[in-house]
Amino acid sequence: MNFSWEIFRKFLLEPSPAYLHGLWLTFSISACAVVLGATLGLVVALMRLSSSLPVQSLARGYIWVMRGTPLLMQIVFLYTAFAAANIFHFHDLDFGIITLPGNIQAAVLALGMNSAAYQAEIIRAGLSSVDRGQYEASRSLGMTSVLLMRRVVLPQALRVIVPPLGNEFNVMLKNTTLVSVIGVPELLLSTQMITSVNFRVFELYLVLGIYFLALTTLWGFAQRRLEAHFGRGEAKPATNTRLFGAQTMKLLRGR
C-alpha cells in the first residue's frame, strides 16, 4: 500500500488553516443546530402535550415529516427552496465581526429543524416523567404555569432529558458532514478540497476520522459531567400529595 506516513503526521499534528476552519465550522454548526433544535423541540413537545387536538395534530405532523424523510434531502430542499426565494443565497448576514454565509444559515436551520423532531420526543418524555401530583400541589400553592415549569418541572425533567440530548449533540457532530453538499466547508468538504490537490485520499480521510473521534470523545467527557451535575440530589419519588407539596415548597425557597 502506497501509504505516506509523512503526510499523515503532517495533517494530523500540523493541520492546515482549511482543516482548522473546517473543525471550527463543524463544532459551531453542531452547537447552533442543537440549541435551535432544543428551542423548537420544547415548543413542539408542549404542543404534543396540549389538550387541543389540532395543536397535537400539527406537532405530530411535523415530527412525522421530519423523522420520516432523509436528512440529506431536507438540507438540499431547504437550501434550494430558500435560494430560489432569494432568502439565503443572496442575503448573507453581516454581524460586523463575522459574516454568516447563506449556505451556513441553511445548514443550521435544516439540521436544527430535523433535530427538533427528535428532541421534542425526548423533552416530552422528560416532562411526562414528572408525577402529576407535583403539578397539582404546585397549582394549589398558586404558582403560575411559567413558574411551575421553571421551578418544579424542568429541574426534575432535566435528569431524564440531558443524557439523550447529549447523545443528540454527538450525532449532530457527525451529521454536519451532510452539509458539504451545499458547499459548507466543514471537515469533510475541507478534506475533499485538500485531496483534490494532493490525491492522498487514504491518509487524509484517516486524519478526518481521528478528528471526529477526538470531537466525540471530548464531548463524551463533557456529557458525563453534565449528567452528574443534573443527577445530583436525585431522590426517590414521593408517594403522596403531602410529600409532593413538601418537595414543591423546597423548590420554591429559591424563588
Binning pLDDT at 50, 70 and 90, where does residue 89 land?
Answer: low
Q: State the residue range of the domain holding 215.
A: 16-131+161-239
Instruction: Name the more confident of 32 and 149.
Output: 32
CATH number of the domain to which 55 belongs: 1.10.3720.10
**Is the predicted pLDDT of residue 239 greater than 50, yes or no?**
no
Asked whether residue 2 is assigned to any structural domain, the reply reads no
Specify if 225 maps to a domain. yes
Instruction: Pick the more confident residue, 242 or 147.
Output: 147
| pLDDT score, position 153 | 80
Distances (CA, A) of 52 to 60, 119, 127: 12, 21, 18
Is the pLDDT at 12 greater than 80? The verdict is yes
Task: State the pTM of this model.
Answer: 0.80
Domain assignment of residue 146, yes or no: no
- Cβ-contact 173, 213 below 8 angstroms: no
The x, y and z cell numbers of residue 198, run together, are 494532493
In a domain, 255, yes or no: no
pLDDT the model gives residue 129: 83
> What CA–CA distance (Å, rounded) separates 105 from 92?
8
Give domain status of residue 6, yes or no. Answer: no
Q: pLDDT-based confidence at 14, cuts 50/70/90?
A: confident
| DSSP collapsed to 3 states, 130-162 | CCHHHHHHHHHCCCCHHHHHHHHHHHHHHHHHH
Q: Average of pLDDT values for 92-107?
A: 67
**pLDDT, greater one: 24 or 237:** 24
CA distance linking residue 110 with residue 87, whole number of Å: 14
How many domains does the chain divide into?
A: 1
- Domain-embedded: residue 4: no
Query: Is 137 part of any domain?
Result: no
Does residue 150 sit within a domain? no
